[in-house]
């Protein structure tokens, strides 16, 4: 099954954490509504260091979701596609 993914890294100061989580909830709602999956991970050893993943079944869906996103991503053209290993 073809899949496409983007990755975004962010470091958030402790004081900005509540506002950041508010923005993440808005992003999650947007990407889910656009047919994508959205995950956020926080680095265990460095609280405040986050990695966001947005995945879709194809490049067109992911590109359209990013174009209409509440927060623009830094490099929307940097899209990764799954590699079949068998």
**Burial per residue of 18-29, b for 16 or more beta-carbon CB atoms within 10 angstroms, e otherwise:** eeeeeebeebbe
- Tens of pLDDT along 25-38? 999 999 999 999 99
User: Global pTM?
Assistant: 0.89
Does residue 16 register a pLDDT over 80? yes
- Separation in Å, CA 34 to CA 4, 25, 67, 68, 79: 14, 14, 11, 9, 17
User: What is the per-residue pLDDT for 1?
Assistant: 65
Q: Which of 12, 6, 15, 22 is nearest to 72 (CA)?
A: 6
46-56 residue pLDDT tens: 999 999 999 99
CATH class of 4-72: alpha beta
Dihedrals phi, psi of 10, to nearest 5 degrees: -145, 140
Q: Which two tokens stand for residue 30?
A: 């947007």
pLDDT at 40: 98
């Amino acid at each position: 099954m073809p899949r496409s993914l983007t990755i975004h890294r962010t470091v958030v100061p402790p004081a900005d954490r509540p506002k950041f989580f508010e923005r993440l909830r808005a992003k999650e709602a947007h990407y889910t509504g656009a047919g994508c999956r959205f995950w956020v991970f926080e680095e265990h050893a460095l609280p405040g260091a986050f990695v966001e993943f947005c995945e879709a079944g194809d490049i067109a869906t992911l590109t359209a979701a990013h174009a209409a996103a509440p927060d623009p991503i830094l490099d929307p053209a940097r899209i990764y596609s799954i590699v079949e290993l068998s």
